[in-house]
Amino acid sequence: MLDPVLLRKDIDFVIAQLARRGLSFDVERFNKLEAARKEIQVETENLQASRNALAKEIGKLKSQGQDASAVMAQAAQIPEQLKQLEEKLSGIKNELDSWLMTIPNLPHESVPFGKDSDENVEQRRWFPEVGYKADMEPAALGFEVQDHVSLGEKLGLEFDTAVKLSGSRFSFMRGGVARLHRALAQFMLDTHTAEHGYTECYTPYIVNSSTLFGTGQLPKFKDDMFWVTKGGDDVDENGQVIPKEELYLISTAEITLTSTVKDSIVPAAELPLRLTAHSPCFRSEAGSGGRDTRGMIRQHQFDKVEMVQIVKPETSYEALEQMTAHAEKILQLLKLPYRVMLLCSGDMGFGSSKTYDLEVWIPSQNTWREISSVSNCEAFQARRMGARFKNEQGKNEYVHTLNGSGLAVGRALVAVMENYQQADGSIVVPEVLRPYMGGLACLTP
């Protein structure tokens, strides 16, 4: 959520930054709410002053033996008037907060202006054996390339089975390809915990709505979520109807990992917190047709290893670069060509101030596809969640939150299958994954 104090102090800055994201801020609405807030605040302060003055007058009259009943009657009306003003102020605050919940974060000054993904800026690209090469293109495989769907048909990747069980945009794996999928997740977790200093977590896959409001998925992205309802028809042991509650399947473990600091003051000595988890993710993916609807690139259910950092504000942009490097390391160890893109202002996620996307090379599409997104949300999520720490001055301050894919497991599987394919349809297992595969060096049809 945007900082209301910043809105009051420098609304022109907020307007300009939101314009970079293509959003027009309703200044008239904000000014109206702010004017009403100030009016109530002045009325409240005046009533409180009157209450104090009347209390003194009552004391004085009583000390002089005079009748104070009229003044006491006047003073007796003030608590109710203050209560009414408090309710009005609460209503204004709730309206402002509900509105601000729908407004995206402000882009960092280093984020390039742009309308969509066509205006993202490439930062660097990396290739096996040669490392970073800005002007290099991935080498051709030297034979007719198959996509992961065609390769997978003979290796245990069964989309027809998934359609029979759940419908389109799901996958079913068995045998070697299922084990390769599991190996990728285990390898990512082990790397992040052993080499990058993250604490492995296991989190719920179903969360309540307040958790999603905190991380920013609600209210804006409700239609992208899968949810279930609980209660409404059942009764508890006392015969009372259990209130109906909406519960949501997580679209990323960012939701649960970040929310571990919800409604809390984190001891400064514990920062930074580095957390990672492997989880399924559930999203109602609309897709863009064609290549996105075929295979595992864009599905309703997929696995991801997520990274989250909770840090002090002054270190968050250093942490962003660090987390991006952690995601890059996974691709480097897998020896997969990739490039790093800085997202423009018009292509960033709702809660992000700055985002890097990592895009891996997919031979069958002859293009780069996103496999990781690493974002600094600054205090945007923390303000929604009430996540703070005590700074050196002893004052409570909002933490900064960062999240990143480390990596999307299904897309990593696609990239491995296609980049490591052989002319006979077999898949060479990357060396770093072989210990997780019982030493197996190749998946053979």
Position 288 scores a pLDDT of: 46
| CATH, residue 195 | 3.30.930.10
Q: Which of 43, 77, 101 is a domain's end point?
A: 101
Same domain for 186 and 276, yes or no, is: yes
Binding positions are 252-254, 283-285, 306, 370-373, 403, 405
- Domain with 268 in it: 117-206+250-443
Is 422 part of any domain? yes
CB 387 within 8 A of CB 284: no
Q: Which of 101, 132, 150 is the last residue of a domain?
A: 101
20 within domain boundaries: no
Residues 289 and 426 in one domain: yes
Domain count, the chain: 2
Instruction: Examine the domain organization and report whether 257 and 316 are in the same domain.
Output: yes
Structure tokens at 73: 């009657």
HSE-up of 99 (CA within 13 Å, CB side)?
Answer: 14
H/E stretch holding 8 reads: helix 4-9
Whether 353 and 279 have beta carbons less than 8 Å apart is answered as no
Q: Are residues 43 and 190 in the same domain?
A: no
Residues 127 and 85 in one domain: no
This prediction has a pTM of 0.91
Residues counted in the chain: 445
Which of the listed residues 74, 101, 128 is the one where a domain comes to its end?
Answer: 101
Q: Please report, in range form, the residues annotated as the binding site for L-serine.
A: 252-254, 283, 306, 403, 405
In 218-359, which ranges are continuous DSSP H helix? 254-258, 316-334
Which of 136, 104, 133 lies closest to 355, judged by CA?
104
Residue 399 lies in a domain: yes
What three-state secondary structure class fits 293?
coil
Structural domain includes residue 16 = no
Check residue 295 and give its pLDDT: 87
Strand pairing partners for 200? Answer: 276
Domain at 83, CATH number: 1.10.287.40
CA distances to 48, 55, 71, 88, 281 from 82, in Å? 8, 16, 17, 10, 48
Name the maximum alpha-carbon separation found in the chain.
Answer: 108
Q: Could you tell me if 41 and 178 lie in one domain?
A: no
Quick one: tokens of 427?
A: 């898949």
Q: So what's the pLDDT on residue 294?
A: 80
Q: Kindly give the residue spans of alpha helices, DSSP state H, lying in 386-438.
A: 409-419
In a domain, 254, yes or no: yes
Residue 172 maps to a domain:
yes
Q: Is 77 exposed, middle or buried (0-12, 13-18, 19+ CB in 10 A)?
A: exposed
Same domain, 265 and 190: yes
Residues 260 and 361 reside in one and the same domain: yes
Do 327 and 262 share a structural domain? yes
Q: Is residue 333 part of a domain?
A: yes
320: CB partners within 8 A, 6+ apart: 354, 356, 374, 375, 376, 402
In this structure, the answer to whether residues 260 and 379 fall within a common structural domain is: yes
Q: Quick one: pLDDT at residue 135?
A: 87
Cβ neighbours for 184, distance < 8 A, ≥ 6 positions apart:
409, 412, 413, 416, 433
Per-residue pLDDT of the chain (445 residues; tens, 9 = 90+): 999 899 999 999 999 999 999 999 999 999 999 999 999 999 999 999 999 999 999 999 899 999 988 999 999 999 999 999 999 999 999 999 999 999 999 999 999 999 999 999 999 999 999 999 998 999 999 999 999 999 999 999 999 999 999 999 999 999 999 999 999 999 999 999 999 999 999 999 999 999 999 999 998 899 999 998 877 677 777 878 778 888 999 999 999 999 999 999 999 999 999 999 999 999 986 544 445 668 899 899 999 999 999 999 999 999 999 999 999 999 999 999 999 999 999 999 999 999 999 999 999 999 999 999 999 999 999 999 999 999 989 999 999 999 999 999 999 999 999 999 999 999 999 999 999 999 999 999 9
Token pair for 376: 């600094």
Annotated binding site for ATP: 283-285, 370-373
Q: What angle do CA 66, 72, 74 make, to 5 degrees?
A: 125
Six-digit token string for 64: 């002089």
Euclidean distance between CA atoms 184 and 436, whole angstroms: 8
Residues 88 and 190 in one domain: no
Q: What is the pLDDT of residue 286?
A: 59
Which residues lie across from 277 on neighbouring strands?
A: 201, 306
- Considering the domain architecture, whether residues 80 and 182 belong to the same structural domain is answered as no
- DSSP helix/strand/coil, 9: helix
- The answer to whether residue 240 is domain-embedded is no
Separation of CA 135 from chain center: 33
Residue 354 token pair: 């700055």
